[in-house]
Copies of this chain bind each other. A is one copy, B any other.
Amino acid sequence: MGARKKEALEQFNRDNILSAAKELFETKGVEQTTMDDIAKYADYSKSTIYVYFKSKEDIYNSIVEDYTDVLIGELEVCIQDSSDFEDSYYKMCDCLVSFEEKYPKYYASLMGEEKSTNSRKKPILKDDKVGRELTGLIQEFLEKGVASRKIRADIDLQPTVLYVWSAISGIIQVAERKKDELDESLNMNKKEYLRYSFRTFYESLVRR
């Protein structure tokens, strides 16, 4: 078999395994999914799975990387394709919220909860690609704000990037965690609460 075809076949197998794992991880949860589950669902033997991936962790990490790229790509569009600062901001927020709702487990993982698919082992500290790319994007966003005079030019950009990120991610996290209470005691659904919080934060950010 030609090297080209061989490589393609390998890619095909890897993709099959990954997409099976992806589905199972999303529906059953990562830790509740066993290697035997993945093998069965992907229609390979377990031994073959281990030919293509060295561990469950390895599979998981590959998937997370895919999601990272998707999310970062979407956020880039929000920030770069929009000429208006306020518009960028709300698009960015929406984009993060959608991602969180669609893939909560991966969102949690990307956003820095300790990553481990096998809790008996120490979690591996991975280099924080999302974190770095995200702060890059937010910096770009803030620079746009400064350029359009929405944000004071004398702010200290670097820590403000993190500050903005703290607030946005905090808002999303709390909204998700408290969504049931919101309905009950606040008479406000998650969406409304998010709008309120994002707006409040936006207004605290731009000069009045």
**Residues of A participating in the B interface, judged by any CB pair closer than 8 Å:** 29, 31-32, 108, 112-114, 116, 118-120, 122, 128, 131, 156, 158-160, 162-163, 165-171, 173-175, 177-178, 181-182, 185-186, 188, 193, 196-197, 200-201, 204-205
Contacts and interface: CB of A to CB of B under 8 A. Distances in A.
A181 B169 CA distance: 18
| This protein's copies in its complex | 2
Contact of A174 (B166, B185, B186): B166
A120 B174 contact: no
A68 to B, nearest CB: 16
Counting chain B CB atoms within 10 Å of each CB, the highest count among A119, A162, A188, A197 belongs to A162
Main secondary structure of the interface of A (DSSP, over half): helix
A193 B31 contact: no
A188 B171 contact: no
B193 A159 contact: yes
A196 B29 contact: no
